[in-house]
Structure 1
Amino acid sequence: MRDLSYARDGHQVFSGLNLDLADHRVGIIGRNGSGKTQMARLIAGLAAPDAGAVTVGGVEVAKDRKAALSTVGILFQNPDHQIIFPTVGEELGFGLTSQGLDKAAARDKAQDILARFNRPGWYDRPVYALSQGQRHLVCLMAVLVMAPKLIVLDEPYSGLDLATTVRLGRYLDALDPGLIHITHDLHSIGGYDRVIWLDQGEVRMDGVPGDVLPAYEAEMRDRGGRDDFADL
């Protein structure tokens, strides 16, 4: 991110932000309203900066959307905000045909990713028949089938039960692409290479989890112990 400025609904989220994210596993933390989700959207190319640029793997993602599809993928907090087709096969094939594959090649790739995740019978399965955890898995497969260099995770465990969280975490831990993981779950990023603490659109702290997470948790506990609620 170079000289990044971005406003949303009249609120200045980022102003002249510069940040390089080259580590394989990066966690991003911060209070609600600190800019985490907007950063995710900017990195994925789903929003365009008002000034400056966001470049991933040499691709300016907001301007070159076709190249961005195979460069960066995003997994949202709510799978129902991401899934747009009635069957699993259609959902998995959409991005592939957008990349220029014909329907037969897209179907083959979709079936390959289903087999990889031990779900070979899901191709024609209606999305509405899946649990929330299963829909999360469909979204993950839809991202992975595009073979991106980077995956952005925006609170991927929100609303999931413990068993599904563990299973999804195991899938994510085994991925080859780089991860940028936006979360309130500090435990889930304890083994990452780097953690960035965002505060009101600025980098409050940037370093290894062992330094950043305890400092963040201590401040949040301190704020939570105040009784005037003035900063909520």
Structure 2
Amino acid sequence: MEGVTLRRGSTTVFSGLNLELVESRIGLIGDNGAGKSSLFRLLCGLDTPSAGRISVHGTEVGPTDLRERPVGMMFQSPDEQIIFPTVEEELALGLEVSGVPRRQAREQVREFLRDRGLGHWAERAIACLSQGQRQHVCWLALTIAAPVLLLLDEPFASLDLPGQILLAQEIQQAPQQIIVSTHVLNHVRHFERVVWLAEGQVRSDGPGQEVCAAYEVDIARRMDSHRLHPGATLALM
């Protein structure tokens, strides 16, 4: 990302933002409204910057053919992402978009699910799945489509503890570059790099342990200030 500016109406979300994201596992942290989801939307081409340049693994981000986009994104809410009524149809979508014939795509999906012990999920109706199961379907859809970069926006929010452990293991094993935006710091604390966003700017950028610890100290300071001055906001200072 080179000199990226993003404006929404009269609000400037980013101004001249520069980021080079090359590590295989990167965490993205910060308060609500810090710009984490906006950053993801820029990287996958859902938002267009007012100025600057964005490229992902050598491909310029813009209004390109879907088959040429090297990025996949998992939204905070699976209901914003899932289109089709069954698991099989949803997972086949990414393959069909990349040019795989429908029948072949369905066969690949069934094999993909069987390899994960989820063969019985193929014909299940999305409406009958729990929130956590639908979130897992979104992860599976990204995995089978196999873009080179995966953006996961609060992927642990609707998962129970076993689901969080399973997803964390799959993130660790996946061959793609993955950027995880989360408020659950323990899921990114061990990452080689974590970026802390605050009000559209990079507040800190470095090893996960160091950046997460700095963010926790900042939160504790703001909470102490709020207790001393109950009428104060928790704004960054």
CA contact (8 A) 2:149 2:178 kept: yes
Q: Normalized against structure 2, the TM-score is what?
A: 0.92
- In the alignment, does 2:39 pair up with 1:39? yes
* CA positional deviation for 1:106: 1.2
Query: For residue 13 of structure 1, what is the aligned residue in structure 2?
Result: 13
* CA positional deviation for 1:208: 0.6
Compared with structure 1, are the counterparts of its residues 5 and 194 closer, same or farther at alpha carbon in structure 2 (3 Å cutoff)? same
Q: 1:82-134 CA deviation, whole Å, 9 max, x = no partner?
A: 11110111111122222222112211221232123211122221111111221
CA contact (8 A) 2:223 2:234 kept: no
* Secondary structure in structure 2 of the residue aligned to 1:27: strand
Return the alpha-carbon distance in structure 1 between the equivalents of residues 117 and 21 of structure 2.
33
* CA positional deviation for 1:45: 1.7
Query: For residue 86 of structure 1, what is the aligned residue in structure 2?
Result: 85
Amino acid at match of 1:5: T
**What is the aligned counterpart of 2:232 among 223, 229, 232?**
229
Return 5+ residue gaps in structure 2 as ranges: none
Return the alpha-carbon distance in structure 2 between the equivalents of residues 8 and 112 of structure 1.
44
Amino acid at match of 2:2: R
CA contact (8 A) 1:45 1:65 kept: no
Return 5+ residue gaps in structure 1 as ranges: none
> Alignment identity in percent?
39
Query: For residue 202 of structure 1, what is the aligned residue in structure 2?
Result: 201
* CA positional deviation for 1:9: 4.1
- The equivalences for 1:86-125 within 5 A come to 86-125=85-124
Query: For residue 4 of structure 1, what is the aligned residue in structure 2?
Result: 4
Return the alpha-carbon distance in structure 1 between the equivalents of residues 86 and 55 of structure 2.
33
Amino acid at match of 2:111: D
Return the alpha-carbon distance in structure 2 between the equivalents of residues 229 and 117 of structure 1.
50
Return the alpha-carbon distance in structure 1 between the equivalents of residues 4 and 101 of structure 2.
37
Flag as ranges the 4+ runs of structure 1 deviating above 3 A.
none
- In the alignment, does 2:66 pair up with 1:63? no
Instruction: Name the stretch that deviates more: 55-64 or 191-200.
Output: 55-64
* Secondary structure in structure 2 of the residue aligned to 1:226: helix
- In the alignment, does 2:54 pair up with 1:51? no
CA contact (8 A) 1:82 1:139 kept: yes
* CA positional deviation for 1:68: 4.6
CA contact (8 A) 2:193 2:208 kept: yes
Q: Normalized against structure 1, the TM-score is what?
A: 0.94
Question: How many residue pairs get matched?
Answer: 231
Compared with structure 1, are the counterparts of its residues 123 and 7 closer, same or farther at alpha carbon in structure 2 (3 Å cutoff)? same
Return the alpha-carbon distance in structure 2 between the equivalents of residues 102 and 211 of structure 1.
47
- The equivalences for 1:166-181 within 5 A come to 166-181=165-180
Return the alpha-carbon distance in structure 1 between the equivalents of residues 77 and 209 of structure 2.
29
Amino acid at match of 1:13: V
Return the alpha-carbon distance in structure 2 between the equivalents of residues 112 and 9 of structure 1.
47
Return the alpha-carbon distance in structure 2 between the equivalents of residues 205 and 7 of structure 1.
22
* CA positional deviation for 1:65: 3.8
Amino acid at match of 1:210: Q
* Secondary structure in structure 1 of the residue aligned to 2:178: strand
* Secondary structure in structure 2 of the residue aligned to 1:225: helix
CA contact (8 A) 2:42 2:49 kept: yes
* CA positional deviation for 1:17: 0.6
